[in-house]
Structure 1
Amino acid sequence: MDNHSKQQIYTKLHKHLKDLPWYVEEYINYKKRKLSAASLLNYVHDYKIFFNWLVTGNYYSGELKNLPLELLESLTVQETEQFLTFLQYELHNKEVTMNRKLSGLKSLFNYLQNIAETRDLQPYLKRNVMAKLEFNDIKESMETTANKMEGKILLGDEYEQFRQFIAYDYGKLYKDNKKLVNFHLRNRERDTALISLILGSGLRLSEVVNLNVDDIDHSKFTARVIRKGNKEQYVYFSKQAMDDLTEYLQIRSKRYDIEKTNKALFVAAAMGPKGTPRRLTARAIEKLVEKYANAFGKPSVSVHKLRHSFATRYHNEINDVPKLRRQLGHSSIQTTMIYTHINNEDLKNAVDKMDMPRFDE
């Protein structure tokens, strides 16, 4: 989405927020770093429906923007269930739409109860009725799940563009911020290798975290991992990932001042004068990916979505579900079958095939 389109959405967003209570605007501002402008606008639309319902249902008689927190705290489960009934029978919302609106309300109420706090360090809400409501039980088809996934993964040219962005363009984007540029220059080989490995193998987050230097076979392009069920497996990865890993390993010891006894493949710099380099944690890797995804303009991309991106590209270019199942470490082939339902013309028409070696049975 270009900047002009984003600005138009934000303009609409702020217009709607003027009609809503102050704590809704505070929550939306809190979420701005984590959600797209379009998602925030959808949240606000759904909140207006809920607050208007409170007015028309005689739970509140004033202006929407003055609706007090105390009212939200006093709502009973039975009363809020009536709102869901209103969505279903008055607005004719489908179950999936009802779930979306309930999810937005749950997120708002969770913020008011567990995150926001007053000057005297008290939560805005001491009681959260939305936490007691359950979502509709919906069994999605593989096609539905695949369609949802398709908009949240890297497709076509984005695959290599994201890698290039981490290796080079992130620093250019923030060239006026010396602190960010220096941090990127210090870690770009590590970050590129890490992302490239996931994109070139489909490894899980926990598997990447636990990798040691000795787990990498430079001649066979494999990584030794412990999969679910404590099963050892050698997982193939792409030549590009090997190239990026090699570049990182050339600077790893000196750049991060690592002792020979530290075997962790991906490490973080020492913290403080007496600190020592340590293995990158799962949360650190999640934040790393989140940082680059937001700057890249695709905030939906996460570590797990990188795994999905690999699986989607592998299936489209190699089309062998049993081998993909083994590569991903799925216990059931039904889990792997979802990637057969993601249809993307950019991938089908890609000129350059993946450089990953085909697997032998």
Structure 2
Amino acid sequence: MDDYRQQELLDRIDEKTAELPWYVGEYVDKKRRTMSPRSLLNYCHDYLIFFNWLLTEGFYNGKRQDVPLSCLEKLTPQQIENFLSYLHFRLNNDRFTINRKLSSLKSLFNYLQNVAETSDLKPYLVRNVMAKIAFNKIKEDQETVAQKMAGKILWNDEYDAFRQFVAEDYCETVKDNKKLLNFHQQNAERDTAIISLILGSGLRLSEVVGLDLSDVDLKKRMVRVLRKGNKEQYVYFSEQAGLDLADYLDVRAKKYQLPPSNKALFVAASMGPHRTTRRLSPRAIENLVKKYAVAFGKPALSVHKLRHSFATRYQAENNDIPKLRRQLGHSSIQTTMIYTHLSNEELKKAVDHMDDHFVAPDGN
């Protein structure tokens, strides 16, 4: 991520913290040293949702920025449970998303109780209601998680077939719709490069979005990414991904009418009266993957499932969990271990082999 992109995220964080109480801004400033700007921006979004809810429910009559610490200290566990229900039933957040939002709130409240101090050395909060709230129980054994995932990823010949579909075959499905056909022809190299890069490297959505031209080394087939925890890492990509990236880079500036100052790797078509171009957003990449997935006949495919597809293929062909862990940027090897459960052909053969020894009761 270049300095411009980093500064852009930091500016957005400043915009969000200006809309939040002073003590939230203080906490965010403390976390800048240890958290990536993208993760910190997600925290800010979570806090905006929480404080908006406080005002809507009447816990404080005033501006969001003026919510006092005393308001947080008086919250009950049941009221927080009501907030979690609001996330689930009103905002349609799944259990994983709710746990993430709860985690960001727990971190803030812990800071206010156990880290921050007033001028007379007293904690900002004496009572921390978030310490009494449990996360949603969503843990499943790796075999169960793997089997749920298995039907939603690409297998065997589907890797190449899906890439081929994006590059060339999709246009056949929209040939009678001139608008869709023109749009695909405009973006075919870009979309193919995105799909091919994820399938050939296992990058996260945020990592793909944040890539700049200077982050790509076609000769070494590596990209520089900022991983979770604000750690910079060089990640390898496949030969096919390299070819597709090269094809895209050959047409990028001309097709998207880009000035030399635009350093984003993946960009959207120019829009507006000034014909300005912009970096592709996470939502835009999610939508383009969904569009191709539905047309391909695998509607459950997503950016994250493409990442899973890469990991499954890598593990099946290399059987090297430590290297896969590094490639994916997992902090825990247990997260990577799930891919050992996705393609257990020996177990399948053993079960099938049972039929060879089965003898019917009547001897036939």
TM-score, normalization: structure 2? 0.58
The 5 A counterparts of 1:139-288 are 139-288=139-288
1:273, distance to aligned residue in structure 2 (A): 2.7
Q: Give the counterpart letter for 1:145 in structure 2.
A: V
User: Is residue 307 of structure 2 the alignment partner of residue 307 of structure 1?
Assistant: yes
The percent of aligned pairs where both chains have the same amino acid is 68
Q: Give the counterpart letter for 1:341 in structure 2.
A: H
1:110, distance to aligned residue in structure 2 (A): 6.9
**Deviation per residue, 1:89-131 (Å, 9 max, x gap):** xxxxxxxxxxxxxxxxx77x878xxxxxxxxxxxxxxxxxxxx
The 5 A counterparts of 1:130-141 are 137=137, 139-141=139-141
Taking a change above 3 Å as real, the CA distance of residues 335 and 294 of structure 1, as seen in their structure-2 partners, is: same
Q: Give the counterpart letter for 1:319 in structure 2.
A: N
Q: Which residue of 2 aligns with 1:342?
A: 342
Q: Give the counterpart letter for 2:263 in structure 1.
A: K
Taking a change above 3 Å as real, the CA distance of residues 264 and 110 of structure 1, as seen in their structure-2 partners, is: closer
**Deviation per residue, 1:11-47 (Å, 9 max, x gap):** xxxxxxxxxxxxxxxxxxxxxxxxxxxxxxxxxxxxx
1:167, distance to aligned residue in structure 2 (A): 0.3
**Deviation per residue, 1:171-229 (Å, 9 max, x gap):** 01111111111000000000000100000000000000000011111111000001011
Matched position secondary structure for 2:285: helix
1:136, distance to aligned residue in structure 2 (A): 8.1
TM-score, normalization: structure 1? 0.58
Matched position secondary structure for 1:202: coil
Q: Which residue of 1 aligns with 2:329?
A: 329
Tell me the distance in 2 between the aligned counterparts of 1:211 and 1:137.
Answer: 35
Q: Which residue of 1 aligns with 2:320?
A: 320
Tell me the distance in 2 between the aligned counterparts of 1:330 and 1:236.
Answer: 15
Tell me the distance in 2 between the aligned counterparts of 1:343 and 1:227.
Answer: 27
Tell me the distance in 1 between the aligned counterparts of 2:147 and 2:253.
Answer: 43
Tell me the distance in 2 between the aligned counterparts of 1:146 and 1:159.
Answer: 18
Alignment root-mean-square deviation, CA: 2.3
Where do 5+ consecutive residues of structure 2 fail to align? 1-87, 93-133, 349-364
1:336, distance to aligned residue in structure 2 (A): 0.2
Residue-pair matches, total = 221
Tell me the distance in 1 between the aligned counterparts of 2:212 and 2:182.
Answer: 26
Tell me the distance in 2 between the aligned counterparts of 1:229 and 1:173.
Answer: 42
Tell me the distance in 2 between the aligned counterparts of 1:335 and 1:285.
Answer: 25
The 5 A counterparts of 1:19-168 are 137=137, 139-168=139-168
1:170, distance to aligned residue in structure 2 (A): 0.6
Tell me the distance in 2 between the aligned counterparts of 1:138 and 1:284.
Answer: 29
Which stretches of structure 1, 4 residues or longer, exceed 3 Å deviation after superposition? 134-139
Tell me the distance in 1 between the aligned counterparts of 2:247 and 2:137.
Answer: 48
Q: Give the counterpart letter for 1:262 in structure 2.
A: N
1:344, distance to aligned residue in structure 2 (A): 5.9
1:135, distance to aligned residue in structure 2 (A): 11
Tell me the distance in 2 between the aligned counterparts of 1:205 and 1:259.
Answer: 25
Tell me the distance in 2 between the aligned counterparts of 1:274 and 1:209.
Answer: 23
Matched position secondary structure for 1:165: helix
Matched position secondary structure for 2:232: strand
